[in-house]
Structures are given as structure tokens and as C-alpha cells.
Structure 1
């Protein structure tokens, strides 16, 4: 299996199972993750532990991270995801592209693109 595809599937599997050790194994210690929006999970976090905390926070909302596609570039990888969840009368139905820049066989930068930023803000808002 290609290293980019392997990293993408390990990242997704670790997110869906909450396996912090498995997630930590594919993350560079200085990784960053940027999510658009203005809500509890938005903004930039720095460092593997902060990425782990964000992943756990997102999962705590009951989000289902359905993997639709793994897309590779010459050096990097993107995950096409369909995230869904329900919390009271709030519904999350979001398509995402999570782009992972790879360096030395680990994820060094994550940037997520959203299909419905206002919907994400409403779901993860106070």
C-alpha cells in the first residue's frame, strides 16, 4: 500500500475508533490543524496533543466520520469525508476535504475544507 494512502486510512481509522496511540503514530509532534468557522472546534491548533484533543472533542459530539474517498497528490493526501450527527434539534450533515501535508512519513499539517460552514457553526456552537 502506498504510504500516502496508508497514512490517510490510519488517520481515519484512529479518528473513528478514538485510538489516540494510533493517531499519534501518524502525526508529527509539531503538526497543525486548521478548521474554518466560528465554533467550539474551529481555528488552528498546534501540536499532536492539541490535534488529539480536537479529534476527541469532535467525536464527543457523536459525529460519524464516513470516509468517501482517499485522494493523493504527488506528496500529500486528502480525505473526502461525510460527517453526520444529531444533537437535540441540531443536525450536522457536512462534506469535508481534510488535506494532510506529509513530511518524513507523518502528517505535518492538516487543513479542513467544509461544504457548509454555517451548518457546522450551528452544530458545534454554544
Structure 2
């Protein structure tokens, strides 16, 4: 049996992989936030659905492979266990992460991403020269 949260997690991952930004927009509340650790171009908090979508576009623009390994469910929220890999200008990204989504009324209100390799993320996500 698929829960609504599990379907939402699959839809979020699917929209990210397909670069379906308008589809992704429908999954989020207008006041959604997305927080990422580190000190690089994708770090910090994106506030509002427009910034959240811009953050997703920026992450995808670096050519990542987003392998969904697990969907983790709590009573009210969900998390995506991902393995992201990419290579750019001789720099390799190979990280495991949990993207924790707090839900409100069946849509994503807040995302917080936890990473296995913040220094590697900082090296990879720099402004292209």
C-alpha cells in the first residue's frame, strides 16, 4: 500500500530528475523553505516556493545523478535517502544525504537536507568560471 506521503516523496524525486519545475511547484506550499548546510552556492535557506524551485534548478544544473535509495516515513513527515553523484571539471561529488520534508496539508512546507560530505559539497558547488 502506498501512502500519500510516499507518493509525494516519489513525485518530488521524479520532478527533480525530470527537471519538471512546474510539477515540482505543485508539491510545495507558497511559503516553503529549503535549508542546506555548507558554504557554497547552494547552501543556506531558500524561502518561498520560487526560491525553492530556483535552488532545485541550480542543483540540477550541476549534472547530478539523484539515486533514490529509500523513502523514510514518520507519522506526519517524510525523508528521501539519496545517493548523489556527479563530476565537473575534474571534481567528483559522491555523497549520501537525507532530504527531510515536513508536510502540511498534504504538501511540502519545509525541506532540510543532511549530507555525508559537506567539504566535498563545498568543493563541488562553486560558481562555474
TM-score computed with the length of structure 1 as normaliser = 0.98
Aligned to 1:45: 46
Aligned to 1:14: 15
Gaps of 5+ in 2: none
Quote the offset at 1:125 in angstroms. Answer: 2.3
Shift >2 Å, 4+ stretches: none
Aligned to 2:125: 124
Aligned to 1:95: 96
Hey, what's the Cα distance between the residues in 2 that align with 1:121 and 1:107?
Answer: 26
Aligned to 1:112: 113
Aligned to 1:59: 60
Hey, what's the Cα distance between the residues in 1 that align with 2:92 and 2:121?
Answer: 9
Gaps of 5+ in 1: none
Hey, what's the Cα distance between the residues in 2 that align with 1:16 and 1:89?
Answer: 23
SS class of match (2:57): helix
CA-atom RMSD, angstroms? 0.7
Quote the offset at 1:99 in angstroms. Answer: 0.2
TM-score computed with the length of structure 2 as normaliser = 0.96
